Amino acid sequence: MAKKASTTTGGFATAFLKDSAKIDGVATTAAPPRYWFSIGNHAINAVMSGEYDKCIAQGRITGIVGPSGAGKSFLIGNAIKNAQEQGAICLVIDSENALDDDYMGKIGCDTREEVGYYYRGVSKVSQVIKIVSLFIKGYKDQYGEDPDAPKIVIAIDSLNMLQTETSAENYDKGVQKGDQGQKAKQIKAMLLDFVQDIKGMNISMLVTGHVYRNTDLKNGEGVWVVNDGMRFALSQIILVTKLKLREKDSRDFSGITLKAFGHKTRFTKPFQSVSIEVPYDSGIDRFSGLLEIAVAQGIVKKAGSRYTIVGEDKSWYSKDFAEVGDRILEQVMANKTAMLSVQEEDDDDDDEVAG
């Protein structure tokens, strides 16, 4: 007759716990992120983490994906700005010349090396691997896995613009030839290596990538296709779409409206979205999108073009939101059970993503 299983640790389990703890590189606890960075906007933070002041997690890779011109570089730039404000050292790897010093300065980043901002322009997957591995190796050699080591953000913009060695050689020869899927395989393998390299470290990674329209819609799979390697390797994926020009007058445009959709989230429920304003000539507004959430939660009521905080008499226009933003944010943050998703009415289904 078989012995009844014990509910207490003993026997083989005691030996297993002792011996497995000796295996180099094996964790014995499943720790949550030690800290987070804001992306610079409370509404997007909440869509990705469930908290209005958290978006980019320590020890994880976050992807910002979307069609061309969707605002991916704008969001990654603002994430870097906010990480700097939290004392982070930033390594910025740019494959499409989108994060030049002038642009980053307008957003509010400090691009001086003496403050810990390191820029590297690249063109190949192999160059990214060499730069990141060199950087992380030096960091590990100095700090090991000290939980009090400096906070690091590594940003790569963009994965899709990178070449393989083969495609670069073909270009040099004047030959236009595919690489038989090697680029996708190399990027996937690179991201998986990065996942293993940064977990447990005070390192957060941000990457951007393109999505493409699904030309074979079946069974409601969605209209956007996210690269398999990114979907598999990344802890979080923000899909940005739905650009609409915001007019100052009939001839001058001041910016766009961006929809941020939680395509993959491990810290809150997925598939929530918010719309925010993206100005061309400045950084992100941390309150953008929050008014719509407050209305949806019943914290603010709207009458025509004026708004009122429930329980108060004074009304105001949306342009005056900054004056009451902190008070509304406090109420929204306290309303843990209310929905976060605020979607614009639209005839399109661009929120849906294949895979």
Strands (E), 265-348: 273-279, 300-303, 306-309, 315-317
Cα angle value 235/256/90 (rounded, 5°): 45
Q: The pTM is what? A: 0.86
In this prediction, residue 8 carries a pLDDT of: 59
In this prediction, residue 218 carries a pLDDT of: 60
In this prediction, residue 159 carries a pLDDT of: 95
How far is it, in rounded angstroms, from Cα 206 to Cα 129?
15
In this prediction, residue 165 carries a pLDDT of: 87
Contact 122, 131 (CB under 8 A): yes
Contact 267, 59 (CB under 8 A): no
In this prediction, residue 231 carries a pLDDT of: 86
Q: Which regions in the chain score pLDDT beneath 50?
A: 219-220, 248-253, 341-352
How far is it, in rounded angstroms, from Cα 112 to Cα 84?
11
State the chain's maximal CA–CA distance in angstroms. 86
How far is it, in rounded angstroms, from Cα 8 to Cα 336?
37
- Distance (Å) of CA 201 to CA 159, 206, 341: 23, 15, 32
Contact 212, 225 (CB under 8 A): yes
Q: Which residues of 118-128 are buried (b: 16+ CB within 10 A; e: fewer)?
A: ebeebebbbbb
In this prediction, residue 249 carries a pLDDT of: 45
How far is it, in rounded angstroms, from Cα 330 to Cα 345?
27
How far is it, in rounded angstroms, from Cα 257 to Cα 247?
11
In this prediction, residue 347 carries a pLDDT of: 38
Sign of CA dihedral 64, 69, 73, 75: negative
Picking from 189, 157, 152, 190, the residue whose alpha carbon sits closest to that of residue 59 is 152
In this prediction, residue 4 carries a pLDDT of: 60
In this prediction, residue 69 carries a pLDDT of: 84
